[in-house]
Structure 1
Amino acid sequence: MDEYNLPLNRVEKARTKIVATVGPSCCEPSQLAILARSGVSVFRLNMAHAGPEQQQPHVDHIRQVSEDINEPLAILVDLAGPKFRLGELPDEGIFCGRDETFFLVKQNPSAANELVTSYQALVDELSLGDLVMFADGTVSMLVEELFPDRARLRVQQHGIIRSRQGINLPGVKLSAPAISVEDHQHAIWAAKTGVDFVSLSFVRSPDEVRTLKDIIRSNSSTARVIAKIEKREALERLEEIVAEADGIMVARGDLGVEIDVAEMPLAQKRIIRVCHEYHKPVIIATQMLDSMHESQRPTRAEATDVANAVLDGADACMLSGETAIGKHPRLAVEMMNRIAQVTEKSLEGLPIRQSAKKNAGGLHEVTAAVVRGAGTMAQSLNAKLVVVASHSGRTALALSQQRNFSPTIGVSSKESTLRLMCLYWGVTPLRNAPAENIEQLIKYTDEWACRVGLAAKGDRIVIVGGSHLTAGQGNKKMSSGVHDIVVVHEVEGTIA
């Protein structure tokens, strides 16, 4: 593709992070590098479309690109979950006319109007009056009669169905586990290969999130678990799920079929609001710039959709087919980055945001108080930078959730923590900073900020750290996980 022959010029990234799905259109290292320089901070690997053998080269390429451009890049492995699909159909598909009759059969369809699915038990779990949705909800059929080996359906909304398309069953309680045997195997691979985030599809309860966490931890991984909200059951237990997960993805494709599409905008806003209350990052996904599969420009509605996600407080927006199989992945990333940057300007100057839930984010009460103070100080002093030294990333996340518009730089002695920051709104992870000593960090930040043009002599920088970072590290009154120091530094303007 011609766009990949362009020079690798890094653009200024929006505070709202961009997640891009890897696929045939962007799987080569040169292509990934351009997307990273165009605004991508997190790359998503969709396990519904390829297994570990096909995805491992993508992991290796992303890690190599990260080294080549000297910038942390995170990897999100998206487990397929219990997504039920149609079996094989004629290449041209089948047109389902309104009021036509079809049958869901357990196996071996023998007529043109007999359909088989990847979930053989589905016929046994349907009830009279259930609605069965095909092709992302564009075709719907009503269950009118049940037999031991089949269910008779009548078409309510006409359209074409094709092989392997997804099936949604709004309101139907299914016994299929959230984590299949294949998902379990993929989660183990993700943990062992060292990815940063693992997302769980079709979450229905916090227990399912805990189960995936156990799988990840038992394989010696610190990857964070992202719960995808795409079932009505998840909305009914939203606060419990948000409290248990490390982050949330609003998976609007399936959610917009599982619930009335008219409910979708308010559901999205509610999910974001609850994530704010619990200080959990939230990703908005599906069809954000869908027309850019083919077009070099989005529709006005799509541009507005991205802007509204930013205004609502999303930490990240995700591109799916736009980058995986679209014709213009770089342009899609650049467009999302531009929309986010323009929209974010309207938010500058607003009061910093505080948590509405006690112990949100699992922070020590001292750290939480210090973070609140640091954000207020940075805003009132018009600080050019806020720098946070964070071992686990929790303090960086807490600063991110305040939505302080002073640029936030995250430093850590752990590369894995820097990669977690790739999902945190407004936080730029910085490699090679001395994160273990506060005096050295101040000196390094002073020189670095002047060198890259983020600060000049006389400007102020707010640095958040812990007493364990002071010289000699003699203060043992609090655990090393507590951030109890805020330093306001006036830039000296010396460049090493």
Structure 2
Amino acid sequence: MSRPRLNEARTKIVATVGPACDSVDQLAALIEAGVDVFRINSAHGSIEQHAEKLTNIRAASDRTGFPAGVLLDLAGPKIRLGQLPQEPLACPLGARFAFVRGADSQEEGELTSTYPRLIDELEPGDRVMLADGTVALQVESVTPSRAECVVVAAGEIRSRQGVNLPGVKLSVAAMLPSDIENAIWAAQHEIDFISLSFVRTAEDVRSLKDLLNSYECQSLVIAKIEKPEALDNLERIVQEADGIMVARGDLGVEIDVAETPVAQKRIIATCKRLMKPVIVATQMLESMHHSVRPTRAEASDVANAVLDGADACMLSGETAIGSYPRESVATMDRIMHKTEESMPRGLSASPGNHDELYRQTQAVTRAGMEVAEALGSKLITIATHSGGTAWVKSNTRSLIPTIAVSDHLASVRRMNLFWGIEPIFCEDIADTAHLIEQVTRWACEQTENGQRVIRPGDTMVVVSGSDVVEGADNVISVHTLS
């Protein structure tokens, strides 16, 4: 049965596209397994390669009849090692290395980086983390041409691996020229979400939004939280962004790894209070790179993200380069679904955002949920042009199955990130008879264990968003399905 389906997880799945899953056949299989949004990582590949991925994603969406969303992840000012003299390069405890200027190292023990101002911004006592934090150097002295370091955590490093500088205040811009180029491409090709890496302030988010606005782009901007400065400015960043990603890979290197779980919970709680969608990312099912089953700890990690209130969880290497991309998606969907079954039924506490823009929609949407619960309705339908009413409903965390019907395909794709919302495209949502006919046809196709989930005589509550019904801002109606 094609998606959306009533018996799938309400928490959404974001999957990274890579060599392991980039064909139309493979992408269609991932959609059927539960992927809602595909991520294109701009740190790997050219714009031409991104365009090929986008074409295949759209083709897979057409094949399955499910318009999957697309997220372009901007690389941001990620500092990487230059070319090393040998691969891998051993870094034993107490060994000495020096960062030097330029792109190539001239002598043994010299390291280079992609950030020209690195030596200018390092000071004695600073820590330099390499290879996702497995190797640590401490700066001992700095001259105009060299930063002398000693290894304080041993391991191996390779060319182009990331460099993290916990506590070092960098002057690098939020977006590099390559990020601007990729963002403009995304704006011109109707990408649904654009994520900005290494956000430090709300102004970083605003700079990307201003760029997109200049191209009349409606993409939602996702701010990635992976720097200590972002945690310091969390409230304003969440307010400015359209959504947040808890990027635990770099965050767990930039701050003490012991602080990362608490930081994750704080970020999610802030997003829930300010009504912004939040994605939890990095190493969620890491062992499924090469194993058909996750570890128990990974299953618990996904479950805890769901219980904390995440709207989506993201798979990275598991789908991009792993051996079991489809199995990873299906496993994540199953863990999410089982976890959601344990969640309390009924409406959650009222969201904290009482902005005038949302006040009326919140009141009407929650009233619709209460009507549905009082009647024992099997289905809630949201009729919405922009998806705003669906997002407000998503924040109630009601477990009553909910579909959102829109006549804008871009809105349908964006709603794939909204918790508990199954989006469907309909040509004319203002025609109530046509809308009910479309929803009834879809509902009749929903089965579980060979039995229809929704039967004739079941009630459905319809909540219409602003401007859907002429002369009214929001409307609640109850329909008996024939």
Q: TM over 0.5: same fold?
A: yes
Question: 1:461: which partner in 2?
Answer: 460
Match of 1:125 among 108, 121, 139: 121
SS at 2:395's partner residue? helix
- Larger mean CA deviation between 228-237 and 386-395 belongs to 386-395
Checking the alignment, whether the CA contact within 8 Å between 2:4 and 2:66 is kept in structure 1 is no
CA distance in 2, matches of 1:347, 1:451: 26
State the shift of 1:329 in Å: 0.3
- Relative distance call for 1:67 and 1:9 in structure 2 (3 A) is closer
Q: What is the one-letter code of the residue matched to 2:36?
A: S
Given the two structures, how large is their TM-score scaled by the length of structure 1?
A: 0.93
Greater mean deviation of Cα atoms: 62-71 or 233-242: 62-71
Asked if structure 2 preserves the Cα contact closer than 8 Å seen for 1:438 and 1:465, the reply is no
- The alignment partner of 1:363 has SS state of helix
Equivalence for 1:37: 32
Deviation at 1:438, TM superposition (A): 3.0
- Report the equivalent of 1:326: 322
Query: Are 2:375 and 1:381 aligned?
Result: yes
Determine the C-alpha separation between the residues in 2 that align with 1:9 and 1:200.
29
Distance in 2 between residues matched to 1:69 and 1:363, nearest whole Å: 36
**1:57 match:** 52
> 1:167-186 to 2 correspondence within 5 Å?
167-186=163-182
Q: Please name the residue that 1:71 is paired with.
A: 66
CA distance in 2, matches of 1:245, 1:116: 34
Worse-superposed segment, 299-308 or 445-454:
445-454
CA 1:172–1:348 in 2, change beyond 3 Å: closer, same or farther?
same
- In structure 2, do the counterparts of structure 1 residues 382 and 8 end up closer, same or farther at CA, with 3 Å as the change threshold? closer
Deviations 1:438-472 (CA, angstroms, capped at 9, x unpaired): 343234333432343442222121111147444xx
SS of equivalent residue, structure 2 residue 372: helix
2:156 aligns with 160
Alignment of structure 1 residues 189-204 onto 2, 5 Å: 189-204=185-200
1:489 and 2:479 are equivalent in the alignment? yes
Change over 3 Å in CA distance of 1:447–1:70 after alignment to 2? closer
Corresponding position of 1:212: 208
Q: How do residues 473-484 of structure 1 correspond to structure 2 at under 5 angstroms?
A: 473=470, 475=471, 482=473, 484=474
Instruction: Answer with 185-194 or 217-226: which moved more.
Output: 217-226
- TM-score after normalising by structure 2: 0.95
**2:338 aligned residue:** 342
Residue type of the partner of 2:45? Answer: A
SS at match of 2:188: helix
Kept in 2, the 8 Å contact 1:363–1:394? The answer is: no
What is the aligned length?
475
Alpha carbons 1:411, 1:433 under 8 Å: kept: no
Q: What is the Cα deviation at residue 386 of structure 1?
A: 1.0
The letter of the residue matching 2:76 is: G
Counting only pairs closer than 5 Å after superposition, residues 104-143 of structure 1 correspond to structure 2 as 104-107=99-102, 108-143=104-139
Q: 8 Å contact 2:85–2:105 — kept in the other structure? A: no
Distance (Å, rounded) in 2 between the aligned partners of 1:239 and 1:467: 28
Aligned residue in 2 for 1:87: 82
3-state SS in 1 of match to 2:381:
strand
Per-residue CA deviation, residues 139-182 of structure 1 (Å, 9 max, x unaligned), is 01111101011101111101101100000001110000011111
Letter in 1 for 2:88: G
Cα distance in structure 1, aligned partners of 2:200 and 2:445: 49
Residue number in structure 2 paired with 1:356: 352
Partner Cα separation in structure 2 for residue 122 and residue 130 of structure 1: 12
- Structure 1 counterpart of 2:10, from 4, 7, 15: 15
What does the per-residue CA deviation read over 1:232-286, in whole Å, with 9 as the maximum and x for residues that have no partner? Answer: 0000010100011000000000000000000000100000000000111100000
Among candidates 413, 431, 439, match of residue 445 of structure 1: 439
Question: Which residue of the other structure, out of 366, 370, 383, is the alignment partner of 2:364?
Answer: 370
5+ residue gaps, structure 1: 1-6
SS of 1:81's partner is coil
RMSD: 1.7
Q: CA 1:52/1:154 → structure 2, altered by over 3 Å: closer, same or farther?
A: same
- The answer to whether the 8 A contact 1:353-1:401 is kept is no
- What percent identity do the matched residue pairs reach? 50
Distance 1:24 1:465, change over 3 A: same
Partner Cα distance (2:466, 2:95) in 1: 72
1:13 and 1:230 map into 2 onto residues whose CA distance is 30
1:430 aligns to what SS in structure 2? strand
Q: C-alpha separation between the residues in 2 aligned to 1:243 and 1:365?
A: 17
Alpha-carbon contact 2:93-2:152 (below 8 Å) kept: yes
TM-superposed deviation, 1:431: 1.9
Distance 2:266 2:22 in 1: 35
